[in-house]
């Protein structure tokens, strides 16, 4: 009596496992086939390009904002230090340092 029960149980588990595995494989194959269709590839390309355009636009805007901020900062530095303070680095170098392009006579 034990043998037929275990045989039936083994057959049932085997058939159930086979059916489950078959469904799983078919689902994976179907999903893979769907991803390889031209429509899916075109949809993905469209999404990536549209996202890339938005990211590029945002990056350009942030770059312009940062450039404006830095330009204002540099102009503020060029206007000189506040009165009553001594600058650490002079804005205008001494006149002898301004002659970068001049050639000195060779001794």
Digit-coded pLDDT (tens) for 88-103:
555 555 555 555 555 5
- Residues of the chain where predicted confidence (pLDDT) is lower than 70: 80-107
Cβ within 8 Å of residue 77, ≥6 positions away: 91
Q: For 5-14, what is each residue's pLDDT tens digit?
A: 999 999 999 9
> What residues does each domain of the chain span?
7-36, 48-76
């Amino acid at each position: 009596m034990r043998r037929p029960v275990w045989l039936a149980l083994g057959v049932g588990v085997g058939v159930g496992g086979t059916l489950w595995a078959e469904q799983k494989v078919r689902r994976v194959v179907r999903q893979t086939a769907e991803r390889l269709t031209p429509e899916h590839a075109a949809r993905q390309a469209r999404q990536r390009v549209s996202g890339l355009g938005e990211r590029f636009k945002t990056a350009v805007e942030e770059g312009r904002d940062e450039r404006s901020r830095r330009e204002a900062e540099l102009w503020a530095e060029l206007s000189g230090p506040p009165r009553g303070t001594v600058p650490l680095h002079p804005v205008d170098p001494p006149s002898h340092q301004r002659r970068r392009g001049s050639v000195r006579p060779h001794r």
